[in-house]
Structure 1
C-alpha cells in the first residue's frame, strides 16, 4: 500500500503543475493580445491625427494638434472586419478664414465619424478610401465675433431665454441717444449664417416719425451675414442653438471620404 501511495502523489503534483503552467501561459497570452490591441489602437490614432492636421492646414485653417479616439474594443477585431464603430476627432483652438475678411474661431470643434468602412486589403495596399457613413461636428462661436460681423460699433449680442438678443445705441443727435434691443432671427442659407432683427424696442423713444425712420434704418443696418468657412470632411451647418456661452453650431455630412486608405 505504501508503494501505491508513493507513485500516485507525484503524478497529481505534476498534473497540478502543468495546469498552473497552462493558466499562466493563457494569462500572458491574453495580456500580450491586449497590449498589442492597445498599441495598434494608439498607433492608428496618431496616424489619423497627423492626416487630419494636414487636412486642416490644407484648408488654411489652424488648430492645436487633433485629438483622435477610435472607439470600440477590441480594436484589432474592427481592423480585420474593416468596420469601425466610431472615430472621434477633437480640434482644439480651431480657426478658419471665411473668405470675406472674418475668421471663425471655436475653442473646440468636436467631430464624430460613425459607420466607418476601411477594408483591410485597402489599408495594406494603400489603395482605396476610408469612408464614414455619417459625420457630425459641434462647435461654439463667441457672440463677440458675431457682433463684430455687424459692423456696428458698440453692438453686443447675448443669449436670453434661448434667443440671441442684440443691443446697440443709436445717436439721434450729438446729445440724444437711444438704446435699442431686438431679437435676432437666425437662418442658414447658401453657406452663410444670416442674422436679422425683429421685435426691436427702444427706451424713451420719442413719438416722432423722423426719429422712428432713423431707428428703422439702423435696424436694417444691424442685419448681417457671416460666411461659413470650408470645414474638414465637407461639414455643413445643420443647426444653430443659442447658449449663454455662445452660439452652438451643429455640422453634418454623410458618406464622407475621411482620407486615403493609408489612414
Structure 2
C-alpha cells in the first residue's frame, strides 16, 4: 500500500512538471510567434497570438496546431495614396501546419472579423468629408461643395458594400438635387468613395460588411492562410 501511495505521488509530481513545462513552452512559442507574424502591404501596431489545445508539446512535436487565435491591433495600410487604418483584426485559424524549423505557419481554414471605425473611414475619404453612423445599417456622409461660388454642405445616407473582393465602397442612396443641374454629380464626387483593405494575412479575404454603431464590421474567411508573409 505504501508503495502504491508513493507511485501515485510520483505520478502527480511528474504530471505537474509536465503541465508546467507544457505551459512554459506554450508561453515561449506564443511570444516568438507574435514577433514572426508578418502581413503583406501593411504594418500592425500590436500582434497577439493565443495557441489553443492541450497538451501543446505533442502538437508541436507533430508540427500541427489545432487552433491559433490571432489579434492584429492598429493595422495600417495604404490605398490610392491614402493611409487606411483597421483598428482591429481578429482571426481564428484551424489546423495550422508548421514548416521546417517553425519558420512558416499555414492554416487550413480561418474565420474572423475586421473593424474599421468611422474616424478611420473619414480619414480614407476626401479632405473635409466626415463619415458617421446613419442608423438602420447605413452611414451618414457629410461634405461641402461649391455651387455658384457658394459653399453648400450636404449630408447623405449611404450604403456600404464590398466590391472586387477587398474593396469597401460607400455610395449615397439618394442625393438632394434641389433643381440645380449637375448638383448630384458634384455632391457624389465628394461623398461617394471606396478604399481597399489590404495587408491582411495572405489567404484571408473580406466577406460580408455590416454597419454598426461603432464602425464597419467585416467578416473574414479564408483557406491556406499564411502567418508569415
Q: Does 1:114 align with 2:94?
A: yes
The structure where helix makes up a greater share of residues is 1
* TM-score between both structures, scaled by the size of structure 2: 0.84
The answer to whether structure 1 residue 147 and structure 2 residue 122 are counterparts is: yes
Deviation of residue 187 (structure 1)?
Answer: 3.0
Question: TM-score scaled by structure 1?
Answer: 0.74
Alignment of 1:1-263 (within 5 A): 15=1, 17-52=2-37, 55-56=38-39, 59-64=41-46, 66-98=47-79, 100-118=80-98, 123=100, 126=101, 130-151=105-126, 153-172=128-147, 177=152, 179-189=154-164, 191-201=166-176, 205=178, 209=179, 211=180, 213-221=181-189, 222-259=191-228
Aligned residues: 228
Q: Shift of residue 216 of structure 1?
A: 1.2
Quote the offset at 1:87 in angstroms. Answer: 0.4
Rg comparison, structure with higher value: 1
Q: CA deviation at 1:251?
A: 2.6
The aligned residue for residue 5 of structure 1 is none
Deviation at 1:23, TM superposition (A): 1.8
How many angstroms apart in 1 are the aligned matches of 2:102 and 2:176? 61
Question: Gaps (5+ residues) in structure 1?
Answer: 1-14
Mapped contact 2:92–2:111 kept (Cα < 8 A): yes
- Structure 2 gap segments, 5+ residues each: none
Return the offset for 1:28.
0.3
CA distance in 1, matches of 2:70, 2:162: 27
Q: Matches of 1:60 and 1:170 in 2, distance apart?
A: 33
Which protein has the bigger strand share? Answer: 2
Superposition deviation, residue 162 in structure 1: 1.6
Kindly state the Cα deviation for residue 175 of structure 1 after the two structures are TM-superposed. 6.5
Q: How far did 1:29 drift?
A: 0.8
Go from structure 1 to structure 2 and tell me whether the alpha carbon gap of 1:143 and 1:128 turns closer, same or farther (over 3 Å shift): closer
Instruction: Evaluate the alpha carbon distance shift between residue 132 and residue 185 of structure 1 in structure 2; reply closer, same or farther with a 3 A threshold.
Output: closer
Aligned to 1:7: none
CA contact (8 A) 2:160 2:168 kept: no
